[in-house]
Amino acid sequence: MPQPNINMLRLLFVLLLSSFCYSQTSLENAEAFIAKKEYVKAQNEMTVFLESNPNDLEAIELLGEAYGYQKKWDAAIEQFQILKQKRPENADYHYKYGGALGMKALSISKLKALAIIGDVKESFTKAAQLDPNHIEARWALVELYVSLPGIIGGSTDKALRYANELQNLSKVDGYLAKGYVYEYDDEPELAEKYYRLAIKVGGSVTCYEKLSKFYEAQHQPEKAIGNLEEAQEKHQRNAMHYQIGKVCADYNIQLDKGEKCIKAYLANHSAQDGVPKAWAYYRLAQINKHRGNKSEALKYINLALDELPDIETFMKEKIVILGL
């Protein structure tokens, strides 16, 4: 019996290892590009990779995500459709396909969107059926059934059904979903009840933000400020200082508190806070405008414009201040 060629085996092993390393490197590069919001680079990396690895599901998924982040919905839909056809039992693929379809529906005319809403609903429903623990698919169904008019399939009852399923998986998500449904359905007392339950059970920054935005939408700024102060005391997030100051400035209330919070935000500002310093200057300009202090208001609106000169809101505010 002939003996195997050791050198040939070594060569094959090296080739296989090199191919594996190349695959891993390309996929890792694409993930890194997406994390850095360099979506075109991720797209190019995966496009080249898929030319020689057309059946790599992870690469197809990354390409779909790169397209999605660029709002190239048709291209994203195409990639996620390939995935769900190759792995019809995978809930995530159905969810991502439905998500890309849904985003396309939001970007086209209402008449054209009607033609694809059924497919969006079907994809999210399939994802929920395939994975009884799929929280994101259930959230998508809650939002879909709430936002659609009844004549084309919207239903508060169905939205609440999925909110109940969410509550069985995660009490916080369930309470937030119910708060969302009741807020949309113009039942503010029930909405407030469930948002407060979410804070009681979870108490995350997101929970507090949902309730604060609800209070603002209900034109209850005092409650919004109280809720944000509670959140700041618990989480010690600098961003909360800005949110408190924003409400004070927008509603012309508790101006001393608003000024103190905005100045604290500026003093402790970092990139992680999310809101650029220019917007904090704008809030200080608003506060001083409310006080009738033209010189201070002009000082701060000019600082805002120095940082972000193309923001129309700042330009309009300066015109108002100059008119004082």
- CA distance readout (Å), 187 to 72, 156, 225: 37, 12, 22
The pair of three-digit structure tokens given for residue 11, joined into one six-digit string: 């060569």
Q: What is the pLDDT of residue 21?
A: 45
Residue 185 lies in a domain: no
d(CA 212, CA 204): 13
Nearest CA-CA partner of 94 in 51, 141, 53: 141
Residues in the chain: 324
Residue 303 lies in a domain: no
Residue 65 belongs to domain spanning: 36-131
Residue 319 lies in a domain: no
Residue 58 lies in a domain: yes
d(CA 58, CA 52): 14
Tell me if residue 275 falls in helix, strand or coil: coil
244: left (phi over 0), alpha (psi -120 to 50) or beta: alpha
Residue 188 lies in a domain: no
CA-based end-to-end distance of the chain: 100
The pair of three-digit structure tokens given for residue 303, joined into one six-digit string: 């600082």
The pair of three-digit structure tokens given for residue 150, joined into one six-digit string: 């009844």
Q: What is the pLDDT of residue 148?
A: 82
Based on the number of CB atoms within 10 Å of its own CB, is 111 exposed (0-12), middle (13-18) or buried (19 or more)? exposed
- The one-letter amino acid at 142: V
**Angle at the Cα of 98 from the Cα atoms of 95 and 102, rounded to 5 degrees:** 135
Contact 54, 70 (CB under 8 A): no
Nearest CA-CA partner of 214 in 251, 183, 173, 237: 183
Q: What is the pLDDT of residue 318?
A: 96
Tens digit of each residue's pLDDT, the chain (324 residues): 444 455 555 555 544 444 444 456 888 888 999 999 999 999 999 999 999 899 999 999 999 999 999 999 999 999 999 999 999 999 999 999 999 999 999 899 988 888 899 999 999 999 999 999 999 999 999 999 998 876 566 799 999 999 999 999 999 999 999 999 999 999 999 999 999 999 999 999 999 999 999 999 999 999 999 999 999 999 999 999 999 999 999 999 999 999 999 999 999 999 889 999 999 999 999 999 999 999 999 999 999 999 999 999 999 999 999 999
Nearest CA-CA partner of 284 in 293, 273, 275: 293
Tally of domains within the chain: 1
The pair of three-digit structure tokens given for residue 232, joined into one six-digit string: 């700041």
CATH value at residue 69: 1.25.40.10
Residue 301 lies in a domain: no
155: left (phi over 0), alpha (psi -120 to 50) or beta: beta
Residue 52 lies in a domain: yes
Residue 308 lies in a domain: no
